[in-house]
Amino acid sequence: MSEQAKAKKWYDNRWFRAAIPALLIHCSIGTVYCWSTFKTTIADQIGMSKGAVGWAFSFAIFFLGMSAAFAGKIVELNIHKSSLISCICFTVGMLGTGLTIKFFTGPLALILIYIFYGCIMGIGLGIGYLSPVKTLMLWFKDNKGLATGISIMGFGLAKAIATPIMEVLQNNFGITAMFLILGAVYFVMMFLGHLLLKKPADWVESKATNDSFRAVTMFRNPMFIGIWLIFYINIHCGLMLITYEKQLLESKFASAAALAAIVAIIPSVTAICNALGRIGYSTISDKLKDRATIYVIIFASCILICLLTFAAPLAFLIIPMLMIVNLGYGGGFSTLPALLDSRFGMENISKIHGLALSAWAIAGITGNNLSEIILSHTENNYNIIIITAAGLYAVAMVICLLMVKKRTKTSGQ
């Protein structure tokens, strides 16, 4: 037996070195989307308004996107350093939030929650989200969409898994204990993911290529600008509708009994749709000649269902609308890395992916806040949110067709 064969351990394969650690990390950090489960409880505990407390989630998404944008070089050269930083920041954010709720109230508590949940945990989110992606694509060279879909599905599925657990912990032990217990659990999961995560032995990062990369050149590239814009609009529109899921249902269903039954099951249904969109759309993209076609499908389906829901006087249409929007919202995330690879190659993919995720940071601020502005100026007319989203999806489709889709050359060219 050769020395190389002896050196290779049974766990040195794409499942133990890429897929499993990616799921451990993403299933932990994806719980950021459980925010609505405990937002009201935090506001009551510290004596501040839900509106003021709600900015902690916006800050978390903002720091997620911006930390991913600035941490690309670290992730590119040293995924062990980046995955460890993510593990520490995320769990410190969780533990700090829980202890803040326990010992502080009023404006001081609010500021500390902004720091722990918004800033520190947000940095852990961004670096953790980015860390496994390139490794997955290197191990799954022929199925890059499937690989990133598996990982990013974990991020989307985390809400469906963690929400009932959080409710049980809150009801039986209190909000502080919930954060402390889950902070410890997620530390173990993320640290195990950190230990397992490893790039293939035949891939060596080029320090010269890493050092020569300049972010400003990407924002001068029309293709990258187009991808950034369609990614931003998809997240922005998704947050416009998803964050007002319960209110949209209430606006369509007059019967209290019907509403109670629907509200009880729809969050789980839409969370599953979000996860299925991540694995489904990215897997389909592996079979297409141009991965940008997936975004055309996403935007077309969202435009049609939003227009139908707006125009037709049928209350039940709000349910398939939320399902289709969630499918597209998740699919937009999981298809992005492979789309960027198809346009710019693997050498700087972590840095380029990180820069693209800055769109997530901006959308985290603008998405739900635009809905709030619309509602405040239209006497809570939720139909205006739906038709506005349809218009923005249409803009995204035009950008995709003009700036992102590959053009087929004719014989005369």
Spacing of C-alpha 128 from chain mean position: 11
The CA-to-CA distance between both ends of the chain, in Å, stands at 55
Fold of 217-405: Growth Hormone; Chain: A; (1.20.1250)
- The string over 46-63, giving b where at least 16 C-beta atoms fall within 10 Å of a residue's C-beta and e elsewhere, is bebeeeebbbbbbbbbbb
CA distances (Å), origin 38, targets 98, 133, 281? 11, 30, 31
Digit-coded pLDDT (tens) for 296-355: 999 999 999 999 999 987 888 999 999 999 999 999 999 999 999 999 988 889 999 999
Closest by alpha carbon to 76, among 194, 240, 261, 203?
203
Longest dimension (CA), the chain: 76
Q: Give the distance, in angstroms, between the CA of residue 246 and the centroid of all CA atoms in the same chain.
A: 20
Architecture of the domain spanning 15-198: Up-down Bundle (1.20)
Query: Is 144 a residue whose pLDDT tops 90?
Result: no
Helix (H, G, I), strand (E, B) or coil at 332: helix
- Domain residue limits, the chain: 15-198, 217-405
DSSP 8-state secondary structure symbol assigned to residue 48: -
Can 15-198 and 217-405 be said to share one CATH topology? yes
Question: What is the distance between the alpha carbons of residues 371 and 379, in angstroms, rounded to a whole number?
Answer: 12
Cα–Cα dist 328/396, whole Å: 13
Query: What torsion do the CA atoms of 100, 102, 105, 108 make, to the nearest 10 degrees?
Result: -20
| Sequence letter at residue 339 | L
Dump pLDDT digits (tens) for 35-87: 878 988 999 999 999 889 989 998 999 999 999 988 888 888 888 899 999 99
Q: Can you give the pLDDT at residue 1?
A: 42
* pTM, to two decimals: 0.87
